[in-house]
Amino acid sequence: MSRLAKLSLALLFTVVAAAALAGLAQTAAPGRPAVELQPLPGFHISPNPQAETPRPALSRMHPRPAPLAATDVARMMPKLGLRSGQISLFVQTIKYQLESYSTTFGAEVDTPDVTDAIFYGATGYVQVDFSVLPGKQFLLDCSLGEDGTYKVATTFLTPNNGSTGWLDGQLSSFNRHLLIPLNTTPANAQGGRVIIDFTEIEFYGCQVDTVSP
């Protein structure tokens, strides 16, 4: 037998043996990972990795609403008690507190950003804190999954954990935007705070606008 034939035959045996070993490994240990990890402290190897705790059906989120046109906001301003003027995005710090609760359940999330959140089956509120400038009038534009009417409260925060007092009202959203007006900011205000009460809400965060005369 020539040297070339011997090399070809040896290569053929190597390929066949490798294929056989691979098939044996798959038969002997179906579904096992290629590399087994050693459990870290506090962990153990799950006897059934596919098993999950039963969960309710996923809630379907609506697409985030498109921004309101400037003409739509301008048309709403008299109804909101805002002076006519240019609406501009205010670059500011903002923080959310989202809380939902019932007699047997409660949850709270504090975050500087909200891209999407849905709460159902319990009452709750969304609290929005944001920085302000004295003498400015602000408009909070909050995006929702569906239109509705909400109880809203607004205030300005003052030094030593004080506030200017609360203003309560009922506001209805427009094109899935809840527009919340605030009075002109007092000279001693350090921040603004808005609370939106709900029994169910699909919430996509807010932007803070200023109204310039």
**Under 8 Å between Cβ of 139 and 181:** yes
Q: Where are the alpha helices (DSSP H) in 113-182?
A: none
Domain regions of the chain by residue span: 70-212
Helix (H, G, I), strand (E, B) or coil at 15: helix
Q: Summarize the confidence of residues 83-106 as an average pLDDT.
A: 87
Residue 65: is it exposed, middle or buried by C-beta count within 10 angstroms (0-12/13-18/19+)? middle
Residue linked to tokens 């705790």: 53
Predicted TM-score of the model (pTM): 0.74
Q: What is the pLDDT of residues 53-70, one digit of tens each?
A: 666 665 678 888 999 988
Q: What is the pLDDT of residues 161-190, one digit of tens each?
A: 888 999 999 999 999 999 999 999 999 999
**Alpha-carbon distance 113 to 50, whole Å?**
33
- Structure-block tokens of residue 23: 């098939």
Q: Which residues pair with 171 in a beta bridge?
A: 150
- Structure-block tokens of residue 51: 């098993």
Q: Which fold has domain 70-212?
A: Jelly Rolls (2.60.120)
Q: How many CB atoms lie within 10 A of CB 208?
A: 22
